[in-house]
Amino acid sequence: MPDTTMTAAATGSIPALAPRRRAASTRLRIAHVTATFPPYWAGTGNVAYHNARELARRGHAVTVFTAASPGGDLDPVLGVEVRRLPALLRLGNAPILPRLLGVGGFDVVHLHYPFIFGAELIWAAAKIRRFPYVLTYHNDLIGDGWRRYAFDAYSAAWARPVFAGARKIVVVSLDHAFSCRQAPIFRDRQPDVLAVPNGVDSTVFRPGLDGDAIRRQHRIPPDAGLILFVGALDRAHHFKGVPHLLATFSSIRERDAILMLVGDGDLREAFTRMAHEYGVLDRVRFAGSVPHAGLPSYYAASDVVVLPSFPPESFGLVLIEAMACGRPVVAHDIPGVRAVVDDGVDGFLVRPGDAADLAEKVSILLADPNLRTRLGIAGRRKVERRYDWRVIGEQLEQLYLEVVGDARRAPETGPTPTATEMSARERG
């Protein structure tokens, strides 16, 4: 597939936001590098999309480097140049993009990690062309079977050099950073680690939307309790906890509850068989893939949103999307996720893998409309204060200005030496 470059205007599916005056007069040339990007609406690609869009809205020149889409319409990004590079080979969500070695001419490059095959190319390009890059660590690489050994070998070989080359390391929460597999690196580079959470477009995901049409479409009675799960049903997202959710749902009978799973992937058939085996297939709705612009209506149709993920889940975008729509959430009490949900304030945290605890908290919410309303209001307020993409964009802008300023003042110094490096120098 040829390399395609697209500079797009806004369309009906992506509402244009009014330009916002920058806090600084410097117009930066910024590149974002990501393995996935819309129309594949998964966590990392979704974050890269909104980061780029918000920075462009703030007046910067933004280019996204990603793999050419294997199919489907390409969603335009207002004011952003998207370079979809041909993949030499693609292993799941890991495309090999040799042209990344040619990245250059930017004030700062933002690498979204993990990006197998891509991260090391950006590391090498930065060495050759001497541009500063920052890195967002989204999650650990964890697989099953042979993937586990391949991911471990890759991380052992490349994590430290790629992290060492980054001027700053962004994490979605410090809670996750110092609990994950790369925690030793984060402790070594602690002065250069900062938390910038994922975000949500609070003008699109908002309370008061009509979800009745979604209920009619999926044959859900108006008075039935609707439990919503949103996530990819593929091997790359095996940690989302769908088998645990289906097993738990078999014990939830409050308000003739219905479970709806929004998402698609190569595990959907297996999950359908699983629902049949648990005897709940008649109460489960597989909605399939839903365009990102259509998700707010699904949240509006729901009573409670669940995310029963296990590590390496590091944040849970669906949680703040649900909160933005005024819906209470129930999630596993794991590093990163527990930094998003205030237990008993805007949702509930439950013990990971504890089906009884999950069923109890979901049932409590289904049975108490006043509690759902109270938690939903609290979640919306938190989103407006902390997770709106406009807030995130301002944080990133300040980070980039700092990194670019440091690089221009001392272009040869690179990032802060780690404690390990300093000890080695002293011994030498």
What rounded mean pLDDT belongs to the chain?
Answer: 87
**Mean pLDDT along residues 187-209:** 95
pLDDT at 25 over 70: no
Exposed, middle or buried: residue 182 (CB in 10 Å: 0-12, 13-18, 19+)?
Answer: buried
**Mean pLDDT along residues 160-169:** 96
Q: Among the ranges 133-147, 211-225, 398-412, which has the highest mean pLDDT value?
A: 211-225
Query: Band of the pLDDT at 322, cuts 50, 70, 90?
Result: very high
Write out the E strands in 163-297: 168-171, 193-195, 226-230, 258-262, 284-288
Whether the Cβ atoms of residue 324 and residue 202 lie closer than 8 Å to each other? yes
Higher-pLDDT residue of 38 and 264 is 264
Q: What is the pLDDT of residue 425?
A: 41
Find the range with the poorest average confidence among 42-46, 228-232, 289-293, 360-364. 42-46
Q: What is the pLDDT of residue 74?
A: 55
Question: In whole angstroms, how large is the CA radius of gyration of the chain?
Answer: 22
pLDDT at 207 over 90: yes
Q: Which has the closest alpha carbon to 320: 174, 173, 184?
A: 173
Q: How many CB atoms lie within 10 A of CB 389?
A: 23
Query: Band of the pLDDT at 13, cuts 50, 70, 90?
Result: very low
Which token pair is 173?
A: 């929460």
* Sheet containing strand 284-288, strands side by side: 284-288, 258-262, 226-230, 304-307, 329-332, 347-350
Q: Say what percent of the chain tops pLDDT 90.
A: 69
Query: Band of the pLDDT at 411, cuts 50, 70, 90?
Result: low
Helix, strand or coil, per DSSP, at residue 96: strand
pLDDT at 258 over 80: yes
Q: What is the pLDDT of residue 312?
A: 81
CA distance 107 to 315: 29
Higher-pLDDT residue of 371 and 419 is 371
Which token pair is 260?
A: 């709806």
Q: What is the pLDDT of residue 3?
A: 38
Helix, strand or coil, per DSSP, at residue 168: strand
Whether the Cβ atoms of residue 185 and residue 140 lie closer than 8 Å to each other? no
**Mean pLDDT along residues 74-100:** 83
The DSSP code for 200 is B
CA distance 376 to 120: 42
Which token pair is 324?
A: 């933005």
Whether the Cβ atoms of residue 251 and residue 227 lie closer than 8 Å to each other? no
Q: Which has the closest alpha carbon to 111: 140, 80, 136?
A: 136
Higher-pLDDT residue of 103 and 6 is 103
CA distance 198 to 414: 27
pLDDT at 283 over 80: yes
Whether the Cβ atoms of residue 109 and residue 103 lie closer than 8 Å to each other? yes
Find the range with the poorest average confidence among 27-31, 44-48, 241-245, 246-250. 44-48
**Mean pLDDT along residues 257-279:** 96
Find the range with the poorest average confidence among 281-285, 365-369, 384-388, 412-416. 412-416
Domains recognised in the chain with CATH numbers: 4-199+389-419 (3.40.50.2000), 212-387 (3.40.50.2000)
Residue length, the chain? 428
- Helix axes 317-324 and 369-382, enclosed angle (nearest 10): 110
**Mean pLDDT along residues 360-379:** 98
* Sheet containing strand 29-33, strands side by side: 4-7, 80-85, 61-67, 29-33, 108-113, 133-137, 168-171, 193-195
CA distance 86 to 337: 35
CA distance 276 to 7: 46
**Mean pLDDT along residues 347-374:** 97
Higher-pLDDT residue of 92 and 169 is 169
Half-sphere exposure of 421 (CA within 13 A, CB side): 13
Q: What is the pLDDT of residue 24?
A: 52
Helix, strand or coil, per DSSP, at residue 334: coil
Query: Band of the pLDDT at 95, cuts 50, 70, 90?
Result: confident
Q: Say what percent of the chain tops pLDDT 70.
A: 87
CA distance 86 to 109: 20
Q: What residues does 349 pair with on adjacent strands?
A: 331
**Mean pLDDT along residues 27-48:** 88
Write out the E strands in 191-240: 193-195, 226-230
